[in-house]
Chains A and B, each alone.
Chain A
Amino acid sequence: MATRKLKEVDAVIIGLGWTGGILAKELSEAGMKVVALERGRMTTTEADFQVPFVRDELRYVQRQEMMQDAARDTLTMRNTQGQEALPVRRLGAFLPGEAVGGAGLHWSGGTWRWTDMEFKARSMYEGRYGKAYIPDDNFVRDWGISYAEMEPYYDKFERTAAVSGKAGNLRGNVQPGGNPFEAPRLHEYPNPPLNPILACQMFSEAATKAGYHPFPRPAANSSRPYTNPDGASFGGCQYCGFCQRFGCEANAKASPHMTVVPAALKSPNFEMRTNSWVTRILKDAQAKRVTGVLYTNLLTGEELEQPAQMVFLCSFTLNNTHLMLLSGISQPYDPETQKGVIGRNYCYETRTAANMFFEGKEFNPFMSAGGTNVVIDDFNANWSFDRGPLNVVGGYIMSAGHNTNLPIGNRPVPRGTPAWGSKWKEATAKWFGSSMSISSSGGTMPHRHNYLDLDPTYKNVFGQPLMRMTFDFKDNDHRINAHAAKMVNELAKSLNPTFMSAASGEKQSWSVIPYLSTHNGGGTSMGTSPADSAVNPWLQSWDAHNLFIMGASTFAHNGAYQPTGLVGALAYRTADMIKNRYVKNPGPLVSA
């Protein structure tokens, strides 16, 4: 059957999570005809996230109900170029979402304002430590954006997502109880911090005593009933303990499905098509522009062409890179020649943790929210933390608290406890409610040999090549993690636990199991030169001026913070630019 060609629209959006939802709302409100194509199904709180059914750890955590179906589409992985990549047959280390809302349905809500320490990383490190400080195989660079221009968009996303937190720096004045290392903000968070839990209090005391600066993790878990500027209603967080991996029945955890998507659906200019799988972005090579997308209606199998004046690639960060590789719009990165841009600067996350066991303490770990954590930023956004002696670029945040500590997946026992039998039961019974952990989370730096390209062997359900991930932690990442482990263990020991399983700072090789983090970054990174970046600082493709790529795939490296605050702010910033500038005079916004 021939591909059916549909009527051209102003904008087609691929993927309806946070960035797709934001663009859908902003552009359709501004009068543009917008179509969003989402491969998953529609979700609503009323139909999908009702108590008691939503409180099912097996269904949502172990069986991954809301995640991308690996049987249809996955990727292959290997640690180094010398290995043969094999398919990630079951999702493990990271979990792309698949439905309206995307990973925004199942996140915890951590919402941060990334600073100039990321956006101007190369100039800041070279300025302080000299040109020779950063080795040639570390591709860290300046992103071409600044905190000052992002500030209003951070604010806008925080208000949309009902973020609970405490400002640490209001217009240059450091605020008690907040993060003193954050960059200046114009406004307080829209909601006060969540109630502290015991693990937060203990960590706060220990960190303060050690001279650090603890503060509540800013989180898109509304601490009280709230109505956002678009009119979306949030309930107050119920500390139900089923947050990460779960939908929220209280609409307390911000998600695209109950904020920007319904706001967009109010506009007659917006059309949402679910079960619609985009297989290719169509390119007009001569004109250096794209003409629309090819997609399949998963309910009928019919292939359709949706022409559009503008294409917004808004799928999960890894799928953005995959679709760019499949569409052949820009040159794929080659680690040998170091030329090409798609798949370059792929980055991930390092983590380490100490478990502590306290005889007689009652943490009630099942009463928690996604954001019931306390954090210190002393080893990340704090530029007076001298990296020179450690020889690293980047840093890590350290945190404690409880978040979604459910019994199938989370039953810590002291090291040396048998894995089954009565002794195991005794320890599990004793420590489930009497343990806590302190963990670190650090970004990774882009490395010449960490990259994404198309797999030569394995195919998805459409017969298209899977994407191949070549990734391992490199020396810079190991050194950050080793320092993190040392500092985590010092603070953990200072709490004087009955037993402690220390954090490991040993060199680790990345494994696709178990879960590590869904904070994958880079692959279609932003920058100021088309030689080493896929998009300019407006997230506009260098090779097709009417193609815009949203999300963490545009990050030039991965910092220690969770990505969503920046992902949301960048989407609002691009939306403003499209409305105020691009549509008036379509063309490249930055000359190459």
Chain B
Amino acid sequence: MENEGRERRIFLKGVVAGGTVAVGSVMPQAVQAQPVGAAASTTPATNLPAGYTFLTPDEGVFIEAVVDHMIPADQFTPKGTDLGVHIYIDRALSSGWGKGERLYRQGPWKQGSANQGYQLPLTPSELYRNAIASCNEQCVKQYGKTFDKMAAEQRETFLLGLQGGKVTLENGPPGRTFFAMLYQNVMEGMFADPMYGGNKDKAGWKMIGFGGVVAVHQQNVVKYLGKKFPVNPLGIADMS
């Protein structure tokens, strides 16, 4: 049974990859030329070189599609990839965290109850690697195409299903566990300090009015009691 599952999966991976090649035009944004606007950025420290350190091309287009779906361009911020959230996730996955730092990794492995927390034998980067492939398999099966080529409504339905445990990743890791990590990482990419590759131009912080890494508020806490603080948030790189 196990072997059958694995072979089927290898086969499907081939289909997915083939699909990408066949269309030809889908390249991860990270390997495309930078958009013109980026060159004019006022904060060079957040301009990380394009290119992925962990994600494969197929994984890259999946993550880009997810972050642009979750963080669309609107009056609040540019879209997720324009904030560098995909870059943030790629860097996180190749960091110590992504490789299982501070994660107890000894077996035996049991599913456990929800109260017992994360119990998979996978590091975050291993979880992504397996789950993205499984998600795309599931999308091909359900919608006839990989996630990045699905319409917005289909993406929404799929992500809600993953979040709520309604989408099962056959032969893959638990979809809800993957979603929880993916969602957390998207939020980190939007709101962590820009030096990690996301939250470009502190757009996430500006959106909510977060004060950034300002060192002193001893006067402000009195002066702005109950009043809006005029935020022009600084990041770590701005003060270094």
A residues near B (Cβ < 8 Å) are 51-53, 55-58, 62-64, 67, 69-71, 74, 77-79, 83-84, 86-92, 195-198, 236-241, 249, 361-362, 364, 366-368, 406-408, 411, 419-422, 425-426, 428-429, 432-433, 457-459, 509-513
Contact = CB atoms under 8 A, between A and B. Distances in A.
Contacts of A83: 113
A195 B239 CA distance: 27
A512 B117 contact: yes
Interface stretch (B24-32, B100-108, B134-142): B100-108
B127 to A, nearest CB: 12
A474 B108 CA distance: 30
B207 A425 contact: yes
A239 B214 CA distance: 10
28 contacts: A51-B239, A52-B213, A57-B192, A58-B196, A62-B188, A70-B103, A79-B115, A86-B112, A86-B119, A87-B106, A88-B117, A238-B218, A239-B220, A364-B211, A364-B228, A366-B210, A367-B217, A407-B191, A407-B208, A408-B187, A411-B208, A420-B69, A420-B71, A421-B156, A425-B71, A428-B207, A433-B208, A512-B115
Contact of B217 (A57, A240, A361, A457): A240
A58 B188 contact: yes
B22 interface: no
B4 interface: no
Nearest to B112: A86
B221 A197 contact: yes
A56 B208 contact: no
A81 to B, nearest CB: 14
Nearest to A411: B208
A161 B153 CA distance: 56
Interface string B185-206: 0111001110010000000110
A429 B207 contact: yes
A509 B205 CA distance: 35
B135 to A, nearest CB: 16
Interface of B: 69-72, 74, 76-77, 97, 100-106, 108, 110, 112-119, 156, 159, 163, 183-184, 186-188, 191-193, 196, 204-205, 207-211, 213-218, 220-222, 224-229, 234-236, 238-240
A450 to B, nearest CB: 14
Contacts of B115: 77, 79, 509-512
Contact of B102 (A64, A198, A236): A64
Closest 5 CB pairs of A and B: A55-B213, A432-B208, A420-B70, A52-B239, A511-B115
A78 B104 CA distance: 16
A421 B70 contact: yes
B188 to A, nearest CB: 6
Contact of A86 (B110, B224, B239): B110
Nearest to B70: A420
Contact of B215 (A87, A89, A240, A422): A240
Nearest to A252: B218
Contacts of A459: 106
Contacts of A92: 117
Nearest to A242: B213
Given A79-B115, A90-B118, A425-B71, 16 more contacts: A55-B193, A55-B215, A70-B102, A71-B102, A71-B103, A89-B118, A195-B222, A196-B225, A237-B218, A239-B221, A407-B208, A411-B187, A429-B76, A432-B208, A432-B210, A511-B117
Contacts of B119: 86, 89
B215 A52 contact: yes
A433 B218 contact: no
A413 to B, nearest CB: 11
A460 to B, nearest CB: 9
A51 B183 CA distance: 29
A429 B213 CA distance: 19
Nearest to A509: B115
A90 B118 CA distance: 7
A48 to B, nearest CB: 15
A343 B221 CA distance: 45
